[in-house]
Amino acid sequence: MESIQAIKQRFGIIGNDTGLNRALEKIKQVAPTDISVLVTGESGVGKENIPRIAHQLSHRKHAKYIAVNCGAIPEGTIDSELFGHEKGAFTGATQSRNGYFEVADGGTIFLDEVGELPLTTQVRLLRVLENGEFIKVGSSKVQKTNVRIVAATNLNMQKAIKKNKFREDLYYRLSTIEINIPPLRNRKDDIHLLFRKFSSDFAQRYSMPSIKLEDNAIKTLVNYRWDGNIRQLKNIAEQLSVLEEDRSISNQTLKNYLPKGADSSLPAIISGKENSNDFNSEREILYKVLFDMKGDLNDLKKLTMELMESSNISEFKANNKHLIKKIYDSRGEKEISDDQIQVVPITEQSNNNEPKSEFDYAEEINAESLSLHDKELELIKKSLEKHKGRRKLAAKELGISERTLYRKIKQFNL
């Protein structure tokens, strides 16, 4: 059996991190079997190397190896791609087609981004894992296949299961052996090693001298967070190789190529909650506005009744000081003085010198609309007017994205 170092050389894997070595040791032990493997890790860490190793070190190495990106295939055609279809099964199916599971019989299938599979397809895949059976789209004939399945995902599968986006039974079938690839920021000793390898490769490809980092630049490189992992590091190495005439890269030059500031070595703050979609954010804002308005309305009603029953303005203000202060604070205004409050006596005469009845002073009170649609429209109009049509500022004040604001403007025909 090949050593870990030999596997690295054979498949072009760079690094000596203990987490990486542990992952390679696992796949080396599992490869000769037919056990299903689930590879987890962030996007860009190199998960695609594991299924290739599993295939090449197994007894299936002379059979087909097919890699399928589940997230790139439209939901309406993915069943046909994986399991095939019969002629006339759907519009445009002018002839029968063999799916990947039929073509790769005896070999290995790598299902990348398996967490993106529709639930209906997950049911079909579960059947393949349980007894090796599948049915083509538009057919009733059960077919057999003998494939080794290696899957990969960058999703948190436990959260996906709780949200009913992934079947729990399928997860346990796929993850007989689970292999996690550590993110690049946890492999600090490998970062500069990988950068030098990429720089050498690009120098050879573009027929130019290889770039080298100064000492301070190396420190910045190693301490950077690398959210895009190896893929991002490779892109930075290629940009520097092609665009910089000076082959010695200073710290400042490197920082110019790193997004969001190259000196950000602090860990990113990640909320424990999932980011809500735009609809939920807008709904929460509207609910808050409505509850605040309801509270203010109740306070105003109470003050109005007190004022109507009181003949002494000073006494009225003293008894309701906290409510008056609350209302002025919420409006961002200063409290007015006693002499600014005018009380119109009920005995006021009309123009025709006839005394008004109590019904003459009654006003028609229209119930305030509590429609989310109306409140949303009103808030968007006010914000756009306030910022003189500048959508970026309006979206920021409303707490929604510019894209969502553009959609709302079009929806409401503003």
Q: What is the CATH number of the domain that holds 60?
A: 3.40.50.300
Spatial separation of the C-alpha atoms in residues 106 and 61, rounded to whole Å = 10
Grouping H, G, I as helix, E, B as strand and the rest as coil, residue 64 is: coil
| In a shared domain, residues 37 and 167 | yes
Residue 239, domain member (yes or no): yes
Q: Which of 208, 228, 257 is the last residue of a domain?
A: 257
Residue 337, amino acid: S
On whether the CB atoms of residues 231 and 267 are closer than 8 A, the answer is no
| In a shared domain, residues 38 and 162 | yes
Residue 266, domain member (yes or no): no
CATH number, domain of 402, equals: 1.10.10
| In a shared domain, residues 351 and 383 | no
Q: Which of 134, 154, 182 is the last residue of a domain?
A: 182
| In a shared domain, residues 223 and 103 | no
Q: Which long-range contacts (CB under 8 A, 24 or more apart) does 30-34 make?
A: 30/54, 30/177, 31/55, 31/56, 31/57, 31/58, 32/57, 32/58, 32/59, 33/58, 34/58, 34/148
Grouping H, G, I as helix, E, B as strand and the rest as coil, residue 390 is: coil
| In a shared domain, residues 10 and 125 | yes
Spatial separation of the C-alpha atoms in residues 136 and 86, rounded to whole Å = 7
| In a shared domain, residues 225 and 306 | no
| In a shared domain, residues 79 and 175 | yes
Supply the pTM of this predicted model.
0.63
Angle, to 10 degrees, between the axis of helix 391-398 and the axis of helix 402-412? Answer: 100
Residue 284, domain member (yes or no): no
Angle, to 10 degrees, between the axis of helix 372-386 and the axis of helix 391-398? Answer: 130
The count of domains in the chain is 4
| In a shared domain, residues 73 and 145 | yes
Residue 244, domain member (yes or no): yes
CA 123 to chain centre: 25
Q: What is the pLDDT of residue 365?
A: 40
Residue 272, domain member (yes or no): no
What are residue 101's phi and psi, to 5 degrees?
-70, -25
Residue 116, amino acid: E
Q: What is the residue range of 224's domain?
A: 185-257
Spatial separation of the C-alpha atoms in residues 58 and 337, rounded to whole Å = 88
| In a shared domain, residues 164 and 307 | no
Residue 111, domain member (yes or no): yes
Q: What is the pLDDT of residue 93?
A: 86
| In a shared domain, residues 193 and 47 | no
Grouping H, G, I as helix, E, B as strand and the rest as coil, residue 383 is: helix
Q: Which of 139, 165, 182 is the last residue of a domain?
A: 182
137-166 pLDDT, tens digit per residue, is 999 999 999 999 999 999 999 999 999 999
- Ordered alpha helix ranges (H), 312-371: 313-319, 321-331
Tell whether the torsion through CA atoms of 19, 25, 28 and 29 is positive or negative.
negative
Residue 366, domain member (yes or no): no
CATH number, domain of 217, equals: 1.10.8.60
Residues of the chain with pLDDT under 50: 261-264, 266-276, 340-351, 355-367
| Residues in the chain, total | 414
Residue 306, domain member (yes or no): yes
| In a shared domain, residues 84 and 166 | yes
| In a shared domain, residues 70 and 204 | no
